[in-house]
Amino acid sequence: MDIKQALWNRFEKYVQINTQANSGSTTVPSSEGQILLAQTLQEEVQAMGIQNSILDQGYLYFEIPSTVKKSVPAIGFLAHLDTSEDASGEKVKPKRHNNYAGGDIVILKDIILSPAHFPELNEYKGHDLVTASGDTLLGADNKAGIAIVMTLVELMQKKNWEHGPIKIAFTPDEEIGRGMDHFDVKKFGAEFAYTIDGDLVGFIENETFNADEVVIEIEGKSVHPGSAKNKMVNAGRVAADIISSWPETMMPESTEGHEGFIGFMNITGGIEKASIRGIVRDHDLSKLKSMEELMISIIEEKKKKYPLAKIKLLFKEQYRNMKEVIDQYPEVMKKLAQAMEAVGISPKIKPVRGGTDGSRLSFMGVPTPNIFIGGSNFHGRYEWVSLDGMQKSFETLVVLTKEWAKQENFANPS
């Protein structure tokens, strides 16, 4: 079995199915393409002889039975079906750049993937890289993960090695934060799991942001501008004043690593009404709460400055840092590191400056760190993935199944 070719064949097929999520939709999943991809995957699984798959509301679950007689933990692998709203996922045309020699890759006339701007490319000389055609995102996030998992499943049907129960799930709407909204932990059946949804080769993640949504609603007063003095309140101006009062050092564009921020993601309005929707993020929950307290104080100051305006502030919890859960089960990361080292990769642990399905799943009773797929620049036209990197991720999963087969069973974390 030519693993790299199998990965390419699947990946090329999957990315051409438009699964772009739609945050404005109330359906589950939020777009029809996700159902189409889930059905395609279920058909592939059934053709391999696996007859226990369940497709429910866009969630596809199935199991590969244990090949060992002793009781060992059931582990799971997950990848998500949807792609980001940030760039088009329609009519994706993947372009394969074999044996990358270094230097610029001209995706399109004005879309140039260059090590001058993306220096991590220098580490991928000799790799077979894949980009889109310049009009869309590629969809490696997370169809590369799907291709890796499905290729693993295919190999497990052809080769017999010792492994415990392997649980697989493909989930919808991860990109819009709904991936776990209707996830059935019992149908999944894993005690520990891994999302195959990371980025560059060797990087693994056991830590995410703590995340809240922030909504600020402003009600102004519309009066003819010729007689507006001491009568008009321009809600749009109040919104701008609130945003400009937030420290620039605590915004997404000026933070990295473990530094937190409030990002103002959507601003609408006029004189009578305005709204600000944003996100609050920090790996340390106490620091997240401190930022929220600072925003509360800013809003209180604006209420005094604009007494004729009505300003409402709301914070809504989205997810919490999965490290809090994963650290209680060190074997989850230990076995992953052992598997990576066995295939010649030095594990590099970093925090996710975002969230994964594993964030919420960990708090649902299944500790779930994140594994690399071998790509970068997700959500846009500069997105790329290495087929060689995908193969290393695949090899890691093979060894990981073997490592867990050595583990005597112990208490389910849930």
Is residue 89 within 8 A of residue 18, CB to CB? The reply is: yes
Residue appearing with tokens 């074997």: 331
| Cα–Cα dist 252/281, whole Å | 9
Q: How many CA atoms lie within 13 A of 112 on its CB side?
A: 9
Give 151's DSSP letter.
H
Is residue 85 within 8 A of residue 379, CB to CB? The reply is: no
Is residue 241 within 8 A of residue 341, CB to CB? The reply is: no
Q: Which among 63, 82, 191, 282 is annotated as catalytic?
A: 82
CB atoms within 10 A of CB 297: 11
| Cα–Cα dist 225/371, whole Å | 57
E strand or H helix at 41, and its extent? helix 32-47
Which residues are paired to 345 by β-bridges?
none
Q: Which among 85, 128, 174, 403 is annotated as catalytic?
A: 174
DSSP string, 231-297: T-B-HHHHHHHHHHHS-GGGSGGG--TT--EEEEEEEEE-SSEEEEEEEEEESSHHHHHHHHHHHHH
* Annotation says 174 is catalytic: yes
Is residue 72 within 8 A of residue 408, CB to CB? The reply is: yes
Which phi and psi angles does 316 have, rounded to 5°? -130, 125
Residue 40 structure tokens: 């395609």
Question: What residues act catalytically?
Answer: 82, 174
